Amino acid sequence: MENWLFTGRDGIQTPVSLPHTWNAADGQDGGNDYYRGTCLYETVFPKPEFDAQTQCVYLEFQGVNASASVECNGSHVISHDGGYSTFRADITSFLQDENRLSVKADNSVSDSIYPQKADFTFYGGIYRDVLLRIIPKDHFEMDYYGAQGIKVTPQVKGKNAQIRVESWHKAEGAKVSISLYDAGRNCVAQGSGTDVTLEIKDVHLWNGRRDPYLYTAKAELVKDGTVLDEVCVPFGVRTFRVDPRKGFYLNGRRYPLHGVSRHQDRKGIGNALLKEHHDEDMKLIREIGANTVRLAHYQHDQYFYDLCDRYGMIVWAEIPYISEHLPGGRQDTVNQMKELIFQNYNHPCIVTWGVSNEITISTKDRQDMLDNHRMLNDLCHSLDPTRVTTLACYAMCNPFSKVVHITDIVSYNLYLGWYVPGLFLNDVFFRLFHARYPKRCIGYSEYGAEGMPNLHSEKPRRGDHTEEYQALYHEYMLKCFAKYPFIWATHVWNMFDFAADARDQGGEPGMNHKGLVTFDRKTKKDSFYLYQAYWTHRPMVHICSKRFQERGTGQIQVKVYSNQPEVSLYRNGKLLEKQRAQKVFVFSVNLEKGAETKIEAVVDTKKGKIKDQALFQWKEHPKSYKLEKKRSKSANWV
């Protein structure tokens, strides 16, 4: 829908285009003007052309944060709590020749709607699309938790697959016809009924990044030989399991999960993303070589789940039950979990439902919190017995805590070596946890270190926010993970820098800088290339610390990342050294005082040479390379 007028907290009405958030600026600068409250969106539209005898008109909101109250021509249409899911309303009876639609969006503090305390900005607004949908009066279900009215459950049986298709509709005397199509649009099975099981022979499996093959299920609502309505959904056929000794298995084969977490915002536009923004994010995630994405800490745009299906990403999907248990928030956790599962059930990419994140940080009513977790865990299993449940534990939540053992599998958010000194403690944690609970599947849901592309040091240390320390941190973590095959998944925190209004770190307030890519997606930090060296096969080479051009010494170490076994380093066009190593190559290079030294790293491949280059200068480096003392505090949001 178009031609929206927005009235903000100042009472001024301005034209806006959807998607839109009013926190695109104030939620990203760490200032005191970050507004959480109620704002108004209004639009006027003519009565759409439709047959009132056979059709009806629905409004579909794909995301309004965090609560919405919708009116059409002065009459209340629908209210919805929870800012990350789709909801709909039949507005047929409200329509006039000209129609005024008003939406109050509210992201203010609440004691019953999640999230309320977390390390990210709670953007307000209609930040996803709003659609006006004209559909038949006799139609597949539109009103039940924003779902599609069709549920597809595959089960592999040898070389074949049994596909159970359930559907719900509003049409007396109508029948449902089901057709299954392969990727070439060839019909491979047909049947009829609201709960029917069909067989696909010689089934083509959805096999992660290697081969993310998708089928399509089409449900037709038929009455007296006429098709009244139809719904088409892509689906994939795959098996998976999680082994406490050997980690994740996909389609019977061990498939180690290594990937990233993602927040949905970016510089200048907040969370009001367009499709091209989602596409760019997926391109970068694929480029780094990840095979899994934790979509934190809420339900993401349906388009991004579609991308994960299409490109074979294994997904952890979760609700924003995070950081603080609200005694009055139980029903909201139920509603958000139902919406998450019902709206995303058909996505083959999703293997686990996340119940909560770091909930023990500030929980007072422990028993109520535990009861809520057990209830949610049971709810997930009742709604979807095909997937496992998980949660992300806070670092200070010890392995003996009851909450650690509620879900099927578990992961930890640990920043040992960043917030806590001692990178070796990561090894200690894994060994102790696995020794005490050898049958418990354990993963790392968050780990990372702040890294600013403009901050540099020849002697990087914990807490300095330099690009160099972030790289050292991740070098250690990748070697650490390689020792423990029982880890079911690792997820870097975070793929991208993101807004966190309560933070003031790294010289840029209102931001979390643990991303491997900057907030605007324009700068890949050195750590990005480290992961690329570990996770990709296409030959690559990268010289680190290119932005650290001015050095205060005549002899420097030049670090190179590559997924090739040998790197040749050239200094001013002359070969300095050839070196064989695993992923990380370190060379000693002399600089000439006052002159630029050109460094080139070269790897030989079957298709030719691949090169990367950098310029360094022996010169007193500027003060801007070092974090100012007034910005050196690592004051976390908690």
Catalytic machinery residues:
358
Burial-class residue 586 by CB neighbours within 10 Å (0-12, 13-18, 19+): exposed
Q: For residues 299 and 115, what is the distance between their CA atoms, to the nearest angstrom?
A: 12
Report the chain's terminal Cα–Cα distance, integer Å. Answer: 39
Going by C-alpha positions, the residue among 51, 41, 1 that lies closest to residue 21 is: 41
Residues 273 and 301 sit within 8 Å (Cβ to Cβ): yes
Q: Kindly give the pairing relationship between strand 139-140 and strand 125-126.
A: unpaired
Q: For residues 608 and 110, what is the distance between their CA atoms, to the nearest angstrom?
A: 60
Going by C-alpha positions, the residue among 215, 248, 252, 490 that lies closest to residue 347 is: 215
Give residues with Cβ within 8 angstroms of 435, minimum separation 6.
none
CB atoms within 10 A of CB 267: 17
Residues 557 and 588 sit within 8 Å (Cβ to Cβ): yes
Residue with structure tokens 């760019």?
A: 280
Give residues with Cβ within 8 angstroms of 528, minimum separation 6.
288, 516, 517
- Per DSSP, which regions of 547-583 are E strands? 550-551, 555-562, 566-571, 574-580
Residues 425 and 417 sit within 8 Å (Cβ to Cβ): yes
Residues 449 and 514 sit within 8 Å (Cβ to Cβ): yes
Instruction: Please work out, in degrees rounded to the nearest 5, the angle formed at the alpha carbon of residue 636 by the alpha carbons of 635 and 638.
Output: 125
Q: For residues 125 and 533, what is the distance between their CA atoms, to the nearest angstrom?
A: 40
Q: For residues 418 and 527, what is the distance between their CA atoms, to the nearest angstrom?
A: 15
Question: How would DSSP label each residue in 148-174?
Answer: -SEEEEEEEETTEEEEEEEE-EE-TT-
Q: In Å, what is the CA distance from 233 to each residue of 33, 152, 246?
A: 43, 9, 33
Report the phi/psi class of residue 240: left, alpha or beta, with left for phi > 0 and alpha for psi in -120 to 50: beta
Q: For residues 489 and 468, what is the distance between their CA atoms, to the nearest angstrom?
A: 25
Q: In Å, what is the CA distance from 132 to each residue of 106, 367, 368, 454, 528?
A: 22, 44, 41, 46, 41
Q: In Å, what is the CA distance from 204 to each residue of 182, 211, 212?
A: 9, 9, 10
Report the residue count for the chain: 638
CB atoms within 10 A of CB 520: 12
Q: Kindly give the pairing relationship between strand 187-192 and strand 175-181.
A: antiparallel
Residues 523 and 517 sit within 8 Å (Cβ to Cβ): yes
Residues 94 and 72 sit within 8 Å (Cβ to Cβ): yes
Q: Kindly give the pairing relationship between strand 490-492 and strand 388-393.
A: unpaired
